């Protein structure tokens, strides 16, 4: 849930399986681990709130460690006995065993791309000098650790490609290390930098680079300790990290998220700073004048501002200032006041995002959550529409100013990610690479429907399934959503989802309020005292699927991760009757204390905090999943998932929720927690761990529904 936030995502038919005997789903033999309770009471605005599982917040405690081991023993003991679990894993391995490559990018004399030749834990960075050359392995993260728990998490080349600074993540942590190498001989040129978090990296010439981080928590756990004041630092190559210079931020400028970027011509350093995940202040410094200081361009955090490029002394900035669906503006550094701002690409009917390559602007418009793209020059003059292969999602169109061709990737629910080369002078796209997946897209169909939420708001939803599927009302259906932090869920291809679809399942993905699909107003409609709108949208999506006979409550599974884990937690506590299976992943589940760990305080724009006001406290308490579990209640079959090294949404959220759920649940449905060891919030997870987790998830869904998948027949 960082500023760039990153993010997230993953879907069976009874008709093809109904003649099979249903598996035995009686779970009366499960004996959940005993979770001790303690007398911990907090007082908010005069109201006492008990927190009996507070001890599970201590991730360094041997008692917590023992609890984790006991829960995993029960969970894996249950999952391992599902008769078709191994067949599911084998099929997932078959589906994933194909060559996957990324779009190439030119750096210096070489063209680089990532490639995974099948079942490698991590994709390898390759390079070649000429198009006709064979690619050589340049950087192989599979050699970083024996068990795949160290991942490559970012690569940053100098403009001439002579140097590379790359980041690694250990055990899934958000804390990073930076290693700098000479690209010609791959020699490490200096000691590694440590303790870098929520950061990009931007080179100034070949002399050094800017990066961001926090002070490492001095007491308690580095994983769960609160990280409050972000700092933009400058590292001069060849000097120790202890001598790195504070450029902006820290206690004197207490922002929680700070980023710095050097313009491609090395003329400007542009800084964005924010207290929350939305709303930026904007600053710049003229690097051609050593005596210059940092100047403010925008001195409030009421809107979003993001630096795109510069055109001489004009800074091109992407913003939602007076434009809820975003626009691109030019700010002249000599006359930066608001009245002198100039629209380059004005706000349009659909949400805009902008990228650059070859001295051109590429404007992507999100039309009911799918992509359309136009080309402009730097003065905002329209040049051409770019034809796409169909309704789906594109990413790419990024390159240096001198580029004459640029690559982009197109994908959809039934269109594997395919790379195209776009030639700027004639506007022609040619297919560059398409993966050979064991999947026939002609056998599947995607619908987009619109349904009404509780308050009458019109919400879009994609529904994907096999052509010819008989819609019986008993089709196993996987409903996935997010609904927060201005994140948009667009059509995307998932190899793992093929398993669900080819076994007759239905996959549904609604675009809830709180996301960015229709701009900042859509986002704001799902925040703070309007957060219930998100849950209502999700519940209405499930009811639409049931009312239109796609499925029924006995064959519906809901899933979401991070903020989406909150979505699932709130939905299953408000409407435990609505679904058969609930899968909250790395979820924010304690809404009274989320802001007391790691970077959680920065999420207050979306959530608000219990300390803000009595009204905000009452509202949070009213939907907080942990606090709305009720005794003697039959909850859906639940598989909570988290990582023991998650330092974004700390695992204590899931630990406490699982303990309370197991204490209150009454019924035959299993309520389990699966805790991945040496794993974090999701990024950089090895393929082996991904396959294990997916096999467990799909097995759990089918088994809980009492369905034997076609693959097991």
The encoded tokens of residue 394 equal 């594109």
Please state, as a whole number, how many other Cβ atoms lie within 10 Å of the Cβ of residue 622.
14
How far is 620 from 588, CA to CA, in rounded Å? 12
Catalytic residue among 275, 653, 665, 681: 681
Yes or no: say if 527 and 607 are a contact pair by the CB < 8 Å rule.
yes
Helix (H, G, I), strand (E, B) or coil at 140: coil
Q: How far apart are CA 234 and CA 4, in angstroms?
A: 21
543 three-state secondary structure: helix
The rounded distance, in Å, linking the Cα atoms of 424 and 427 is 5
Beta carbons of 88 and 499 less than 8 angstroms apart: yes
Specify the DSSP element, H or E, that contains 352. Answer: strand 351-357
Dihedral pair phi/psi, residue 523, rounded to 5°: -65, -50
Pairing of strands 163-170, 415-423: unpaired
**Annotated catalytic residue, options 520, 562, 624, 694:** 562
Q: Is 610 left (phi over 0), alpha (psi -120 to 50) or beta?
A: alpha
Rounded to 10°, the helix 563-574/532-547 angle is 70
* Beta strands across the sheet bearing 342-345: 305-311, 314-319, 327-332, 342-345
d(CA 271, CA 249): 10
Nearest Cα neighbor of 626 from 128, 52, 47 is 52
In the residue annotation, 520 being an active-site residue is answered as no
For residue 408, the SS3 value is: strand
The two beta strands, 637-643 and 671-676, are parallel
Catalytic residue at 562?
yes
Residue owning tokens 């207050």:
604
The size of the chain, in residues, is 713
Cα(696)–Cα(675) distance, rounded to whole angstroms?
12
> 364 with 377: CB under 8 angstroms?
no
Q: Say how far apart CA 363 and CA 375 lie, in whole Å.
A: 6
φ, ψ of residue 17 in degrees (nearest 5): -125, -5
Counting other chains too, the contacts that 84-90 makes at CB distance below 8 Å and 24 or more residues apart are: 84/699, 84/702, 84/708, 84/709, 84/711, 84/712, 85/695, 85/696, 85/699, 86/695, 87/711, 87/712, 88/499, 88/695, 88/698, 88/699, 88/709, 88/711, 88/712, 89/691, 89/692, 89/695
Catalytic residues: 562, 681
């Amino acid at each position: 849930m960082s500023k760039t936030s990153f993010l997230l995502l993953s879907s069976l038919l009874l008709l093809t399986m109904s003649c099979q005997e249903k598996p035995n789903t009686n779970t009366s033999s499960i004996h959940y681990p005993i979770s001790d309770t303690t007398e911990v009471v907090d007082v908010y605005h005069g109201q006492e709130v008990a927190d009996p599982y507070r001890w599970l917040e201590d991730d360094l405690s041997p008692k917590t460690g023992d609890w984790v081991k006991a829960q995993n023993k029960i969970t894996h003991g249950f999952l391992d006995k599902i008769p078709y679990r191994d067949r599911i894993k084998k099929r997932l391995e078959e589906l994933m065993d194909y060559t996957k490559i990324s779009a190439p990018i030119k750096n210096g004399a070489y063209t680089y791309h990532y490639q995974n030749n099948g079942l490698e834990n991590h994709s390898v960075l390759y390079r070649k000098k000429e198009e006709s050359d064979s690619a050589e392995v340049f950087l192989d993260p599979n050699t970083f650790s024996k068990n795949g728990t160290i991942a490559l998490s970012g690569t940053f080349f100098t403009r001439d490609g002579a140097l590379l600074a790359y980041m690694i993540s250990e055990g899934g942590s958000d804390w990073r290390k930076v290693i700098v190498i000479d690209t010609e001989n791959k020699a490490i040129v200096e000691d590694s930098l440590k303790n870098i978090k929520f950061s990009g990296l931007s080179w100034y010439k070949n002399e050094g680079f800017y990066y961001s981080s926090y002070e490492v928590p001095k007491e308690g756990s580095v994983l769960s300790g609160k990280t409050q004041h972000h700092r933009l630092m400058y590292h001069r190559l060849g000097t120790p990290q202890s001598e790195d210079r504070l450029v902006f931020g820290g206690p004197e400028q207490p922002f929680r998220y700070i980023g710095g970027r050097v313009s491609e011509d090395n003329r400007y350093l542009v800084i964005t700073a924010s207290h929350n995940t939305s709303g930026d202040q904007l600053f710049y410094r003229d690097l051609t004048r050593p005596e210059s200081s940092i100047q403010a361009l925008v001195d409030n955090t009421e809107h979003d501002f993001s630096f795109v490029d510069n055109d001489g002394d004009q800074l091109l900035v992407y913003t939602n200032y007076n434009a809820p669906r975003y626009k691109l503006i030019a700010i002249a550094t000599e006359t930066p006041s608001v009245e002198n701002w100039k629209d380059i690409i004005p706000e349009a009917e659909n949400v805009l995002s902008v990228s650059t390559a070859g001295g051109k602007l590429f404007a992507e418009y999100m039309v009911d959550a799918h992509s359309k793209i136009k080309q402009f020059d730097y003065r905002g003059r329209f040049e051409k529409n770019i034809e796409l292969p169909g309704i789906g999602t594109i990413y790419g169109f990024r390159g240096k100013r001198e580029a004459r061709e640029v690559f982009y990737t197109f994908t959809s629910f039934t269109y594997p990610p395919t790379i195209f080369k776009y030639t700027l002078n004639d506007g022609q796209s040619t297919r560059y690479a398409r993966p050979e997946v064991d999947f026939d897209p002609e056998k599947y169909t995607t619908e987009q429907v619109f349904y009404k939420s509780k308050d009458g708001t019109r919400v879009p939803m994609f529904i994907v399934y096999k052509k010819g599927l008989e819609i019986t009302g008993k089709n196993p259906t996987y409903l996935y959503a997010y609904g927060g932090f201005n994140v948009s869920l667009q059509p995307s291809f998932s190899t793992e989802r093929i398993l669900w679809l080819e076994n007759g399942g239905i996959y549904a993905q609604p675009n809830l309020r709180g996301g960015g699909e229709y701009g900042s107003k859509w986002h704001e409609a799902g925040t703070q005292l309007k957060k219930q709108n998100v849950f209502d949208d999700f519940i209405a999506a499930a009811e639409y699927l049931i009312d239109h006979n796609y499925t029924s409550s006995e064959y519906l599974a809901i899933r979401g991760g991070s903020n989406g884990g909150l979505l699932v937690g709130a939905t299953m506590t408000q409407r435990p009757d609505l679904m058969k299976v609930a899968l909250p992943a790395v979820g924010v589940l304690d809404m009274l204390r989320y802001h007391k760990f790691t970077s959680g305080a920065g999420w207050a724009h979306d959530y608000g905090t219990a300390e803000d006001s009595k009204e905000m406290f009452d509202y949070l308490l009213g939907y907080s999943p942990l606090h709305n579990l009720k005794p003697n209640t039959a909850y859906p079959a639940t598989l909570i998932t988290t990582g023991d090294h998650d330092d974004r949404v700390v695992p204590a959220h899931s630990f406490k929720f699982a303990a309370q759920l197991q204490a209150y649940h009454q019924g035959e449905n299993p309520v389990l927690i699966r805790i991945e060891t040496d794993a974090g919030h999701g990024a950089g997870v090895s393929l082996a761990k991904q396959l294990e987790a997916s096999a467990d998830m799909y097995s759990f869904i089918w088994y809980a529904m009492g369905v034997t998948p076609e693959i097991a027949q």
